[in-house]
Amino acid sequence: MVMNNVDKLIKILERLNSGEESEHVKKEAGRILKSISPKELSLAEQKLTESGLSSDDMRALCDVHIKILSSKLTKSKDLKKGHVIHTMTAEHEKILEFLGQLEKSNKNIQKMWRYEKGNGEFKNLSQISKYLNEAESHHRREEDVLFPELEKRGVTCPPQVMRYEHEELRKNKKELIKLAKNAESMNFNEFKKSLNSTSRFIVSSLRDHIFKENNILYPTALDVIKENKVWNKMKTECDKIGYCSFTKL
């Protein structure tokens, strides 16, 4: 029955990915998605990847899933403070706050005509960029602890997509640090142009990334990793990697 659901979903997703967006197809997708689990969604993604779907197509397809799923997805079940997923979700909430601050700072700086050393927006930009780069320990815990446990259980596609997105985000977050550091010495128009493109990419991509992790990846992990001893082991491994200064433990 599980594979039957997966196969049905694959056919629907293939039709949506090819550009077919009729009301009939959307209604059919909605009927299937009402009963499908995060694990089944992951299996559908995995089968499509194994059939030769490229990483870029997989990401585009994932965006299609999200648009359909957004009305029915629920938050992860209530978890005790200190649980690996509880901690990661709480970190996401702080990162989303930083993204809002980055968006605001970028808009304010875009209105300026020249660099103003005493303007607090540049200090804000520097602080925000440091916090976003500090989230590297969050990504490492996902990549080194959470993703391997999912992959052991046959869930390989979502971690693959998330790793790819982590790499893209890393490059842009490093660029943001560089821009914040060199704001005074750069041509101001060039600085604003680079800041705008880098900030907009980070804000849009990371918000979308967090939504997918909160609503697909993490629920899948809770669905397929049943053993408390495994979660306890994962917590120990996460402790060894370390946390962000803004992590609430």
**Phi and psi dihedrals of 37, rounded to 5?**
-95, 165
pTM confidence score: 0.79
Q: CA-CA distance, 61 to 53, in Å (whole number)?
A: 10
Amino acid at 6: V
Q: CA-CA distance, 243 to 229, in Å (whole number)?
A: 21
Give the domain 84-241 fold: Four Helix Bundle (Hemerythrin (Met), subunit A) (1.20.120)
248 in Cβ contact with 90 (< 8 Å): yes
Closest CA to 147 of 228, 80, 44, 220: 220
**Phi and psi dihedrals of 243, rounded to 5?**
-130, 175
Contacts of 1 (CB under 8 A, 6+ apart): none
What DSSP line would sit under 197-221, residue for residue?
Answer: HHHHHHHHHHHHHHHHIIIIIHHHH
pLDDT number for residue 116: 86
pLDDT number for residue 73: 45
Q: CA-CA distance, 37 to 30, in Å (whole number)?
A: 13
| CATH 1.20.120.520 domain extents, the chain | 84-241
Closest CA to 223 of 43, 68, 48: 43
Tokens linked to 87? 């901690």
Most distant CA pair in the chain, distance: 64
pLDDT number for residue 209: 92
Per-residue pLDDT of the chain (249 residues; tens, 9 = 90+): 444 677 777 777 677 667 666 677 767 766 776 666 666 766 776 677 777 766 666 666 565 555 555 554 445 557 889 999 999 999 999 999 999 999 999 999 999 999 988 788 999 999 999 999 999 999 999 999 999 999 998 887 788 889 999 999 999 999 999 999 999 999 999 999 999 999 999 999 999 899 889 988 898 888 889 999 999 999 999 999 999 999 987
Tokens linked to 215? 């609503």
